[in-house]
């Protein structure tokens, strides 16, 4: 006899709505500025290499600090850190909207990443806390559904605001959304007492890991423009390796007080989910970047039209993310994630067979298959990672998974950019890059089948 699931209270529903608004806020800002860059360039007389840091700066700071945010959320309380992070996000959104020059705009945009890095792991932890244990799969489905929808709406919303009002309203619209989410969260999400209130911040761990991630992500980003052989890129990668070595040494000395405790990173159920996430991020980010570029350069699409070409992928991903949450308890993380990886692998192979004359309609089946895979994979692997550890480390686990996703995306984009740059045409380059991505997805499928474990009745490590 199947046991009925525990029903949610009105207060829990209100809390989940508030957190969904916060998820939308953070995820939407990753994509909303893409179609507004030409207007910003024109107003401030900036070039594309400068304006792209409106997007890259936010993502870079977010990716560098998200693990620190996760650790702080577990140490000092998720609701508390969410409140502080939201206030930081809103303050710099206001400054960004009022920016008088491009430097003020870039600094404000980057500092918004600090607020996002505080908010995101807190949101993950609070969402799983609000959901009963037998609905943890639905928590992951909710997070990824809202996130995928926000990513899809972002370019449309940003382009519409930039065209009808001003690009500044992409900043200003954050303020009322954040205010409503914050007030609802204060009313519906209970204040939790952290389990380990005697711990201190591992400052050396924060410094060395932040430096390592910054150098890695920055090196991958600029290598897409200048190549891997430039001295500056080599120096950044060398600093990354040295910083990671120093971080590992410091973490070993700190023991249970480390930024990333051994009980988390050494968890045999958690680590495989992070590694598989790293491999799969390559396929997802490369599709987001190169499909619009191909349509612009080979098919004559405008930036807005190219951005809207990704909407089918995002909509399909959000639908299957929701379905994945419903199916989690029946099929388990390994089965759902493996199905998702298989679809992403097949989808990348389908997308790789493009030529200069390939139309959007010919690309659409591949985009749909990738969207199905993305929707099945992301929620299940996130839920598997977060539920693999104790609840006191839930925000940190979610932050690590997200950091591996960003890092995998950065490394993949750098690799893809090199492949495309050394190819005779963009179509040939994308063909080769997507083929490599498909084989990486195949490696991720093998890793998932053999090493990712479903949640058992055991207490998480």
pLDDT above 60: residue 1: no
| CB half-sphere exposure, 116, CA atoms < 13 A | 27
- Closest alpha carbon to 304 in 172, 106, 161, 99: 161
pLDDT tier for residue 342 given thresholds of 50, 70 and 90 = very high
Of 27-36, 182-191, 348-357, 409-418, the range with the highest mean pLDDT is 348-357
**Alpha carbon of residue 372 to chain centroid:** 17
**List of residues 6+ apart from 220 with CB closer than 8 A:** 410, 411, 413, 414
pLDDT tier for residue 93 given thresholds of 50, 70 and 90 = very high
pLDDT digit string, tens, across residues 228-248: 778 888 898 899 899 888 888
Per-residue confidence (pLDDT) for residue 398, from 0 to 100 = 75
pLDDT above 70: residue 31: yes
Q: What percent of the chain has pLDDT over 70?
A: 85
Q: Which residue has 């560098």 as its token pair?
A: 64
* Cα separation, 118 vs 89, whole angstroms: 9
Q: Which residue has 């070409």 as its token pair?
A: 309
State how far the alpha carbon of 71 is from the alpha carbons of 81, 116, 273, 394, 431, in Å: 10, 14, 19, 9, 40
pLDDT tier for residue 88 given thresholds of 50, 70 and 90 = very high
pLDDT above 50: residue 460: no
State how far the alpha carbon of 20 is from the alpha carbons of 25, 36, 139, 143, 241, in Å: 9, 25, 11, 7, 37
Per-residue confidence (pLDDT) for residue 110, from 0 to 100 = 85
DSSP 357-415: T--HHHHHHHHHHHHHHHHHHHHHHHHHHHHTS-GGGHHHHHHHHHHHHHHHHHHHHHH
State how far the alpha carbon of 47 is from the alpha carbons of 38, 42, 301, in Å: 9, 9, 21
* Cα separation, 344 vs 442, whole angstroms: 9
pLDDT digit string, tens, across residues 280-306: 887 777 777 778 778 877 888 776 677
The pTM of this model reads 0.72
Query: Any idea what DSSP says for residue 454?
Result: -
Mean pLDDT of 113-140: 77
* Cα separation, 350 vs 352, whole angstroms: 6
16: tokens are 């989940």
pLDDT digit string, tens, across residues 145-190: 777 777 777 777 777 787 788 888 989 999 998 998 888 888 877 7
Query: Is-contact 258 370, C-beta < 8 A?
Result: no
Per-residue confidence (pLDDT) for residue 327, from 0 to 100 = 83
């Amino acid at each position: 006899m199947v046991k009925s699931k525990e029903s949610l209270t009105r207060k829990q529903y209100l809390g989940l709505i508030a957190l969904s608004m916060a998820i939308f806020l953070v995820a939407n800002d990753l994509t909303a500025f893409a179609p507004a860059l030409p207007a910003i360039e024109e107003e401030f007389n900036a070039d594309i290499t400068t304006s792209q840091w409106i997007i890259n700066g936010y993502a870079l700071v977010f990716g560098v600090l998200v693990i620190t945010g996760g650790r702080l959320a577990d140490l000092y309380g998720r609701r508390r850190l969410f409140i502080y992070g939201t206030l930081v996000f809103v303050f710099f959104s206001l400054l960004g909207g009022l920016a008088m020059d491009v430097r003020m705009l870039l600094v404000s945009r980057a500092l918004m990443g600090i607020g996002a890095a505080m908010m995101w792991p807190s949101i993950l932890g609070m969402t799983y806390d609000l959901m009963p244990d037998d609905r943890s799969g639905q928590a992951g489905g909710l997070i990824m559904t809202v996130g995928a929808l926000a990513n899809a709406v972002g370019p449309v919303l940003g382009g519409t605001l930039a065209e009808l009002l001003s690009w500044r309203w992409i900043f200003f619209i954050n303020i009322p959304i954040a205010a409503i989410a914050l007030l609802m969260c204060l009313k519906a999400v209970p204040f939790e007492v952290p389990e380990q209130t005697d711990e201190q911040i591992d400052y050396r761990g924060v410094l060395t890991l932040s430096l390592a991630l910054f150098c890695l992500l920055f090196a991958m980003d600029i290598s897409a423009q200048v190549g891997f052989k430039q001295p500056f890129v080599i120096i950044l990668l060398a600093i990354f390796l040295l910083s990671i070595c120093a971080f590992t040494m410091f973490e070993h000395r700190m023991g249970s007080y480390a930024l990333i405790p051994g009980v988390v990173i050494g968890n045999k159920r958690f680590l495989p989910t992070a590694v598989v996430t790293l491999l799969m991020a390559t396929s997802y980010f490369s599709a987001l970047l190169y499909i619009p570029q191909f349509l612009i350069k080979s098919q004559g699409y405008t930036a807005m039209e190219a951005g809207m070409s990704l909407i089918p992928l995002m909509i399909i991903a959000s639908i299957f993310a929701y379905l994945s949450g419903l199916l989690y308890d029946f099929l388990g993380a390994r089965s759902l994630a493996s199905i998702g990886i298989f679809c992403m692998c097949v989808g990348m192979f389908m997308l790789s067979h493009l030529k200069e004359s390939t139309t959007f309609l010919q690309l659409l089946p591949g985009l749909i298959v990738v969207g199905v895979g993305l929707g099945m994979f992301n929620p299940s692997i996130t839920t598997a990672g977060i539920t693999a550890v104790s609840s006191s480390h839930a925000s940190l686990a979610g932050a690590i998974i997200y950091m591996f996703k960003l890092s995998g995306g950065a490394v993949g984009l750098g690799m893809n950019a090199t492949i495309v740059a050394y190819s005779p045409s963009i179509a040939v380059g994308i063909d080769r890059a997507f083929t490599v991505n498909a084989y990486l997805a195949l490696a991720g499928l093998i890793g998932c089948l053999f090493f990712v474990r479903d949640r058992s009745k055991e207490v998480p490590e």
